Chain A
Amino acid sequence: QQQVKQSPQSLIVQKGGISIINCAYENTAFDYFPWYQQFPGKGPALLIAIRPDVSEKKEGRFTISFNKSAKQFSLHIMDSQPGDSATYFCAAGDTGKLIFGQGTTLQVKP
């Protein structure tokens, strides 16, 4: 019950399009759901995070949608840009530990 499943594994989007990455978790005790962005050869950086008491959180072009009953959450990147090309990881956890998804490699074509 500790897995976080992320899909798709890879995603190609045209510039200006919407990128959508999905994650599903199993442990209902999880109360923190972040998304990290990682460029090649670098460490991941926090992009946006949500707690289960809200269903959506938006920061600029990035939005998290959260469905507590389905135990799913997703990242939406609006107006995707070539500079968004990176690997994205979802994670879920509680105080102290995070379980990461397998990652999604996003390529935004100009």
Chain B
Amino acid sequence: DGGITQSPKYLFRKEGQNVTLSCEQNLNHDAMYWYRQDPGQGLRLIYYSQIVNDFQKGDIAEGYSVSREKKESFPLTVTSAQKNPTAFYLCASRSEGSGRNEQFFGPGTRLTVL
């Protein structure tokens, strides 16, 4: 069954702690993305990667870090420097070679800072 998986579904964190959100895809897609969703603000791009071992900052990268060591994995770390990390985080992927621009989304991780 091809798709994107995100774990965990719910995550609770104490202030001052770093936390890593997992994103895995078995679609053989080259590009992967992390978005943050807040009520009434749509989806905002945090980081994206179009190839292994390379990634670029999106519009709201401050307080976040990523790695892309494998094609199928793109974990996001929310650091203690992120001022307001409580949000719904969405991972997406896209095939570079197909000529299609469609981004496929995972089910999301809801992060709550206590």
Residues on A facing B (Cβ under 8 Å): 6, 9, 32, 34, 36, 41-46, 49, 89, 93-98, 100-103
The binding surface of chain B is classed by DSSP as: strand
Contact size range, B: 20 to 34
Chain A nearest Cβ from B35, distance in angstroms: 8
Residues on B facing A (Cβ under 8 Å): 4, 31, 35, 40-45, 48, 50, 58, 90, 92, 94, 101-108, 110
B40 near A43 (CB under 8 angstroms)? no
Q: Complex formed: what's the CA distance from A103 to B94 in Å?
A: 21
Chain B nearest Cβ from A21, distance in angstroms: 13
A49 near B45 (CB under 8 angstroms)? no
Question: Per a CB cutoff under 8 Å, which of B42, B45, B106, B107 touches A103?
Answer: B42
B40 near A34 (CB under 8 angstroms)? no
